[in-house]
Amino acid sequence: MRTALVTGGTTGIGAAISTAIKATGARVAATHSGNEARAAAFSTATGIPTFRWDVSDHAACATGIADVEAALGPIDILVNNAGITCDASLLKMNPEAWKRVLAVDLDSCFNMAQVVVGGMKARRWGRIVNIASINGQTGQFGQTNYAAAKAGMLGFTKALALEVARDGVTVNAVAPGYTDTEMVAAVAPEIMKTIVARIPVGRLAQPNEIARCVAFLVAEEAGFITGSTLSVNGGQAMI
Ligand code: CAA
């Protein structure tokens, strides 16, 4: 039985990913960054244990992953899903908004992967999936920080995929489009209207429509897919 760890795995797309991977028969742990009540409710509903730490903190990732591995066993599957937005056009963006988004969304991939990849290589099997975004592929007004972080994840995915390809470890990205989550609900309704009008499918994605792509990439049979980006955006960007 494989063991999976999903960052930001108690809410939104992450919660759907945690439950989809559990449904494949794997043991799953989910991290969260502080909403204890929501994490407890998620754990009660799904039976998935949750762990709390800040994925932008390199040392906290090492300690947190050691706790998960002590409880569940070595991590075979890592999903770097945790992410935040802090939107503002460039001239209005303060350095904190730039640094925090880069730290949570991109540094976290380095922090997490560096801890688990050695064990995956040694056991000659592993799956890493990084949850990027359509806005890292196309850019988006008001998201220089988020688009840079998400585009950075795509480069990180390809470089790490090369480093571990011989060791049975695959590294891929999933790039969701606009999905029915709290993050998207925070965008002003008049702006969302113009965005949804540009989605050929004519609606937002549901979190489980993203999660099934992750389940596909972490499957035993997916060993020949590595360094790829799976775009799941309702046709908004055909790349
Ligand atoms: N496109 C084109 N023009 C825009 C615009 C947009 N999205 N947003 C603002 N403008 C215009 C303004 O109307 C203004 O025009 P005028 O000067 O002619 O009045 C001009 O640009 C200057 O805008 P400001 O710098 O003052 O920007 P603002 O403060 O009004 O808005 C913003 C900035 C709140 C970030 C807004 O642009 C916005 O909400 N953008 C969308 C952000 C977005 O899509 N976020 C997605 C979050 S969810 C997510 O990211 C998940 C995922 O992976 C898909």
Is 90 a pocket residue for ligand 1 (Cβ < 6 Å)?
no
What region, left, alpha or beta, does residue 236 occupy, with left being phi > 0 and alpha being psi -120 to 50 degrees?
alpha
Cβ contacts of 63 within 8 Å, gap of 6 or more: 53
Is 162 a pocket residue for ligand 1 (Cβ < 6 Å)?
no
Residue nearest to atom 34 of ligand 1 (CA): 88
Residue nearest to atom 47 of ligand 1 (CA): 184
CA of 191 to the centre of ligand 1 (A): 7
Identify the CATH number of the domain in which residue 53 sits: 3.40.50.720
This prediction's pTM: 0.97
Residue 235 lies in a domain: no
Mean pLDDT, to the nearest integer, of 22-39? 97
Q: How confident is the model at residue 97 (pLDDT cuts 50, 70, 90)?
A: very high
Buried b / exposed e over 18-47, threshold 16 CB at 10 Å, is bbbbbeeebbbbbbbbeeeeebeebeeebe
C-alpha triplet 38, 9, 114: angle, nearest 5°: 135
Residue 116 lies in a domain: yes
Residue 206 lies in a domain: yes
Mean pLDDT, to the nearest integer, of 116-125? 98
Instruction: Report the domain count for the chain.
Output: 1
Residue 183: helix, strand or coil by DSSP?
A: helix
Residue 69 lies in a domain: yes
Residue 223: helix, strand or coil by DSSP?
A: coil
Is 178 a pocket residue for ligand 1 (Cβ < 6 Å)?
yes
C-alpha triplet 186, 191, 194: angle, nearest 5°: 135
Is 142 a pocket residue for ligand 1 (Cβ < 6 Å)?
yes
pLDDT, tens digit (0-9, with 9 covering 90-100), for 164-215: 999 999 999 999 999 999 999 999 999 999 999 999 999 999 999 999 999 9
Domain membership of residue 188 as a residue range: 3-230
Residue 236 lies in a domain: no
* Catalytic (active site) residue 178: no
pLDDT, tens digit (0-9, with 9 covering 90-100), for 143-166: 999 999 999 999 999 999 999 999
Query: Which pair of tokens denotes residue 229?
Result: 């980006």
Amino acid at site 99: K
pLDDT, tens digit (0-9, with 9 covering 90-100), for 2-28: 999 999 999 999 999 999 999 999 999
Is 101 a pocket residue for ligand 1 (Cβ < 6 Å)?
no
Residue 82 lies in a domain: yes
Residue 56 lies in a domain: yes
How far is the CA of 66 from the CAs of 5, 71, 72, 93, 227, in angstroms? 12, 9, 10, 36, 27
Query: Which pair of tokens denotes residue 7?
Result: 């960052």
CA of 201 to the centre of ligand 1 (A): 23
Amino acid at site 109: C
Residue 8 lies in a domain: yes
Question: What is the spatial distance between Cα 87 and Cα 214, in angstroms, rounded to a whole number?
Answer: 26
CA of 53 to the centre of ligand 1 (A): 31
CA of 123 to the centre of ligand 1 (A): 46
